[in-house]
Amino acid sequence: MSSLVAAMKIPPAPQFHHNRTHQVSTPMLIATAIAATIAAAAVATLAVVLYRRFSRGSAAATVPSDLGHTTSGLSRFSFSQLRRATSSFSPSHKLGQGGFGPVYRGALLSGQHVAVKLMDSDFLQGEREFQNELALASKILTMGSSPDRGWVVVPFGFCNYEEGVGWWRRRRKKADLEAVGECGGGGSSLSRRLLLVYELMHNGSLQNALLDRRCPELLDWRRRFSIVVDIAHGLHFLHVVCEPPVIHGDIKPSNILLDSRLSAKIADFGLARLKSPPPLNGDQNLEEAEAHGDEIEYLSSPKISPFLQSEIGKKHNGGGGDDDASATGETAECSTITCFEERCHEEADTLTARVSDAAELIASPAEPLTALHAASASEAAGFDRESLDSVVIDTVASASRSGRRKISTASGVGGGAKDWWWRQDAGGGGRNVESGSNVKDYVMEWIRSEIKKERPKSEWLTPSTCAVSAEDCLPRVIGKTVKKKQQRKLEWWVSLDEERRKKRSRPAREWWREEFCEELTNKSKQKTTLKSKSNAEAVELHWWQKDRDHPSPLERSSRLKQRSWSRNSHTGNDPWLDGLSCETKVNNGKRRSREGRGSDIPKSCTLSSTPSMRGTICYVAPEYGGGGPLSEKCDIYSFGVLLLVIVSGRRPLQVTASPMSEFERANLVSWARQLAHVGKLLDLVDPSLTAVDREQALLCITVGLLCIQRSPSRRPSIKEIVDFLTGQSEPPLLPLEFSPSPPGGFSFKSKKKAPQ
Ligand SMILES: Nc1ncnc2c1ncn2[C@@H]1O[C@H](COP(=O)(O)OP(=O)(O)OP(=O)(O)O)[C@@H](O)[C@H]1O
For 397-453, write each residue's pLDDT tens digit. 444 444 333 322 222 323 332 232 222 222 333 333 333 344 445 445 544 544 444
pTM over 0.90: no
- The pLDDT of residue 106: 95
Residue 752 clears pLDDT 80, i.e. is over it: no
Side chain identity at residue 41, one-letter code: A
Label residue 6 by pLDDT band (50, 70, 90): low
120 versus 234: the higher-pLDDT residue is: 234
202 CA: nearest ligand 1 atom: 4
- The pLDDT of residue 710: 86
- The pLDDT of residue 447: 47
Side chain identity at residue 269, one-letter code: F
In short, whether 125's Cβ falls inside 6 Å of ligand 1 is: no
735 versus 242: the higher-pLDDT residue is: 242
- Beta partners for residue 33, in sequence order: none
Cα(492)–Cα(534) distance, rounded to whole angstroms?
45
Residue nearest to atom 23 of ligand 1 (CA): 98
Average of per-residue pLDDT across 166-174: 54
- The pLDDT of residue 45: 85
Question: Residue 733's CB: how many other CB atoms inside 10 A?
Answer: 10
594 CA: nearest ligand 1 atom: 26
Average of per-residue pLDDT across 379-396: 40
- The pLDDT of residue 607: 32
Concatenated DSSP letters of 575-599:
HHHHHHH-HHHHHT-HHHHHHTS--
Cα(332)–Cα(339) distance, rounded to whole angstroms?
11
365 C-alpha to ligand 1 centroid (Å) = 51
* pLDDT single digits (tens) 308-336: 334 333 333 333 333 333 333 332 333 33
In short, whether 115's Cβ falls inside 6 Å of ligand 1 is: yes
Residue nearest to atom 14 of ligand 1 (CA): 98
306 C-alpha to ligand 1 centroid (Å) = 39
117 CA: nearest ligand 1 atom: 18
Which residue, 427, 397, 396, is CA-closest to 411? Answer: 427
In short, whether 268's Cβ falls inside 6 Å of ligand 1 is: yes
**Bond from prior residue into 244 cis (ω within 30 degrees of 0):** yes
96 C-alpha to ligand 1 centroid (Å) = 6
Q: Among the listed ranges 1-10, 153-162, 291-300, which one has the minimum average pLDDT value? A: 291-300
Residue 176 clears pLDDT 70, i.e. is over it: no
423 CB-near residues (< 8 Å, 6+ apart): 315, 319, 322, 417, 429, 430, 431, 746
pLDDT above 70 coverage of the chain, percent: 40
375 versus 216: the higher-pLDDT residue is: 216
Label residue 687 by pLDDT band (50, 70, 90): very high
The answer to whether the beta carbons of residues 561 and 551 sit under 8 Å apart is no
527 C-alpha to ligand 1 centroid (Å) = 50
Residue 65 clears pLDDT 50, i.e. is over it: no
- The pLDDT of residue 496: 67
Average of per-residue pLDDT across 22-37: 80
| Residue 651 Ramachandran class (φ > 0 left, ψ -120 to 50 alpha, else beta) | beta
In short, whether 255's Cβ falls inside 6 Å of ligand 1 is: yes
In short, whether 253's Cβ falls inside 6 Å of ligand 1 is: no
The answer to whether the beta carbons of residues 361 and 355 sit under 8 Å apart is no
Q: Among the listed ranges 18-22, 42-46, 651-655, which one has the minimum average pLDDT value? A: 18-22
In short, whether 117's Cβ falls inside 6 Å of ligand 1 is: yes
- The pLDDT of residue 486: 62
Residue nearest to atom 1 of ligand 1 (CA): 200
- The pLDDT of residue 609: 28
Residue nearest to atom 30 of ligand 1 (CA): 205
The answer to whether the beta carbons of residues 81 and 167 sit under 8 Å apart is no
Choice from 114, 205, 619 to test ligand 1 binding pocket (greatest atom count within 8 A of CB): 205
746 C-alpha to ligand 1 centroid (Å) = 47
Q: Among the listed ranges 172-181, 212-221, 382-391, 697-706, which one has the minimum average pLDDT value? A: 382-391
In short, whether 106's Cβ falls inside 6 Å of ligand 1 is: no
Q: How far is CA 540 from CA 535, 543, 544, in A?
A: 8, 9, 12
Residue nearest to atom 12 of ligand 1 (CA): 96
* pLDDT single digits (tens) 515-524: 444 444 555 5
pLDDT above 90 coverage of the chain, percent: 23
Average of per-residue pLDDT across 564-587: 32
The answer to whether the beta carbons of residues 368 and 520 sit under 8 Å apart is yes
In short, whether 154's Cβ falls inside 6 Å of ligand 1 is: no
Query: Which is the catalytic residue, given 176, 230, 250, 357?
Result: 250
711 CB-near residues (< 8 Å, 6+ apart): 304, 309, 312, 313
Does residue 723 carry a catalytic annotation?
no
Question: What is the residue-averaged pLDDT of the chain?
Answer: 62
- The pLDDT of residue 146: 72
- The pLDDT of residue 223: 96
Label residue 475 by pLDDT band (50, 70, 90): very low
- The pLDDT of residue 717: 96
Residue 585 clears pLDDT 60, i.e. is over it: no
* pLDDT single digits (tens) 587-599: 333 333 333 333 3
The answer to whether the beta carbons of residues 383 and 358 sit under 8 Å apart is yes
* pLDDT single digits (tens) 620-649: 888 876 566 788 999 999 999 999 999 999
473 CB-near residues (< 8 Å, 6+ apart): 362, 371, 374, 375, 385, 508
Cα(64)–Cα(603) distance, rounded to whole angstroms?
7
In short, whether 205's Cβ falls inside 6 Å of ligand 1 is: yes
Q: Are strands 157-162 and 246-247 parallel, antiparallel or unpaired?
A: unpaired
Q: What is the ipTM of this complex?
A: 0.97
87 versus 427: the higher-pLDDT residue is: 87
Residue 461 clears pLDDT 60, i.e. is over it: no
Q: Among the listed ranges 50-54, 215-219, 234-238, which one has the minimum average pLDDT value? A: 50-54
The answer to whether the beta carbons of residues 652 and 641 sit under 8 Å apart is yes
Which residue, 235, 137, 277, is CA-closest to 634? Answer: 235
Going along 192-337, which residue ranges are E strands?
192-199, 246-247, 256-258, 264-266, 273-274
Concatenated DSSP letters of 594-652:
HHTS-----STTTTSS-----S-TTTS-HHHHTT----HHHHHHHHHHHHHHHHHTS-S
Residue 492 clears pLDDT 90, i.e. is over it: no
Cα(290)–Cα(369) distance, rounded to whole angstroms?
13
Average of per-residue pLDDT across 589-612: 33
